């Protein structure tokens, strides 16, 4: 059973990333992960600050992690943090992979294979990139992941299974918010006991989501492709998720799934 934090307070800033700040806490089992308003694309080649993005992303990410936990998918998520942009998580050792799940081909996949944009896959297409800014996060084949000792063959199979379960869960989640999930990337880590769990965030920074009716982008593509209205897209997605939480709270007579 996951330990719930009591009296947790953040102490020192451990890491300032492209989009998130990682804080130590007064309990060595926990960290506080704070989503910032920073936004970047092209491995940091393009950057900006989008007011309100951190709070929007955190609201969405907490809701999704709660859904994953309810489905029995292990994550590092514990509960809300000290402010609207942060959450408390279990300390985990990151696995140096970004795991990508695709329902349709777009972005780097289309460029790499020169295929039709929005080509629909039969099920969830899973691929991996090696998490390294210096190397440009290259696609890495399964055999190389095992050969480099990043994962065992068994662990790799487990992560692929978890990714497929995450894909189905968040696809249905965004569908309830009148959105269509195109693709996403997630990260995994190891808890001190060796358990592999989903870590980091799942938000419009890490997912491609289209409005189910209009096809309008509701994610970081608005920044990548200079579409404009970046803050508005994040706020719209957060508004839909908050509305879904209120509906859930009303139907159960209890706490919404972000609590």
If you write DSSP's letter for every residue of the chain in order, what string do you get?
Answer: -PPPPSS--EEEEEEE-SSEEEEEESSTTEEEEEE-SEEEETTTTEEEE-TTHHHHHHHHHHHHHHHHHHTT--BSEEEE-SSTTEEEEE--EEPSEEEEEEEE--THHHHHHT--TTPEEEEEEEEEEE--TTTT--B--HHHHHHTTSS-HHHHHHHHHHHHHHHHHHHHHHHHTTEEEEEEEEEEEE-TTS-EEEES--STTTEEEEETTT--B-STHHHHTT-S-HHHHHHHHHHHHHHHHHHHHHHHTS--TT-
Q: What is the pLDDT of residue 43?
A: 81
Residue of higher predicted confidence among 1 and 209: 209
pLDDT at residue 253 tops 60? no
Mean pLDDT of 63-90: 97
Q: Does some domain include residue 245?
A: no
The number of domains in the chain is 1
Residue 259 confidence (pLDDT):
35
Q: Could you give the percent of the chain with pLDDT greater than 90?
A: 88
Mean pLDDT of the chain: 94
Residue 101 in any domain: the answer is: yes
CATH code of residue 154 = 3.30.470.20
* Model pLDDT, residue 246: 76
Q: What mean pLDDT comes out for the span 43-65?
A: 95
Nearest to 108 by CA among 188, 168, 43: 43
Predicted TM-score (pTM) of the model is 0.93
| pLDDT value at 254 more than 70 | no
Q: What angle do CA 48, 53, 54 make, to 5 degrees?
A: 105
Structure confidence by residue, pLDDT tens digits, 102-152: 999 999 999 999 999 999 999 999 999 999 989 999 999 999 999 999 999
Residue 177 lies in a domain: yes
Does residue 98 belong to any structural domain of this protein? yes
Whether the predicted pLDDT of 2 surpasses 80: no
Q: Evaluate whether residue 49 is within a structural domain.
A: no
User: pLDDT band at residue 5, thresholds of 50, 70 and 90?
Assistant: confident
pLDDT for the residue numbered 44: 80
Q: Is residue 202 part of a domain?
A: yes
Q: What is the pLDDT of residue 255?
A: 36
Domain containing residue 122: 94-224
Report whether pLDDT(258) > 50: no
- Residue 259 vs residue 236, higher pLDDT: 236
Mean pLDDT of 51-62: 98
pLDDT band at 251 (very low <50, low <70, confident <90, very high): low
Q: Is residue 37 part of a domain?
A: no
Is a pLDDT exceeding 50 seen at residue 74?
yes
Going by C-alpha positions, the residue among 122, 116, 88, 90 that lies closest to residue 103 is 122
Q: Is residue 15 part of a domain?
A: no
94 with 199: CB under 8 angstroms? yes
Q: What is the pLDDT of residues 226-239, one digit of tens each?
A: 999 999 999 999 99
Give the chain's radius of gyration (CA, Å).
Answer: 18
pLDDT tens digits, one per residue of 164-199: 999 999 999 999 999 999 999 999 999 999 999 999
């Amino acid at each position: 059973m996951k330990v719930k934090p009591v009296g947790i307070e953040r102490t020192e800033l451990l890491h300032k990333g492209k989009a998130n700040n990682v804080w130590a806490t007064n309990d060595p089992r926990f960290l506080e992960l704070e989503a910032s308003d920073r936004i970047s694309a092209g491995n940091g080649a393009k950057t900006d600050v989008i007011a309100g993005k951190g709070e929007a992303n955190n609201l969405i990410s907490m809701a999704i992690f709660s859904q994953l936990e309810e489905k029995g998918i292990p994550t590092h998520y514990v509960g809300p943090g000290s402010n609207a942009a942060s959450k408390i998580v279990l300390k985990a050792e990151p696995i140096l992979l970004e795991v990508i799940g695709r329902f349709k081909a777009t972005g780097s996949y289309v460029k790499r294979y020169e295929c039709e944009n929005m080509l629909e896959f039969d099920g969830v297409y899973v691929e991996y990139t090696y998490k390294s800014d210096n190397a440009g996060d290259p696609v890495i084949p399964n055999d190389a992941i095992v050969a480099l000792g990043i994962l065992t063959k068994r662990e790799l199979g487990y992560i692929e299974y978890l990714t497929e379960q995450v894909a189905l869960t968040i696809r249905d989640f965004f569908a309830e918010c009148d959105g269509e999930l195109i693709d996403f990337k997630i990260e995994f880590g190891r808890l001190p006991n060796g358990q592999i769990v989903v870590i980091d965030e799942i938000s419009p920074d890490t997912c491609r989501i289209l409005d189910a009716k209009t096809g309008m982008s509701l994610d970081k593509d608005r920044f990548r492709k200079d579409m404009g209205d970046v803050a508005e897209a994040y706020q719209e997605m957060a508004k839909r998720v908050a509305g879904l939480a209120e509906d859930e709270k009303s139907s159960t007579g209890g706490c919404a799934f972000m609590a």
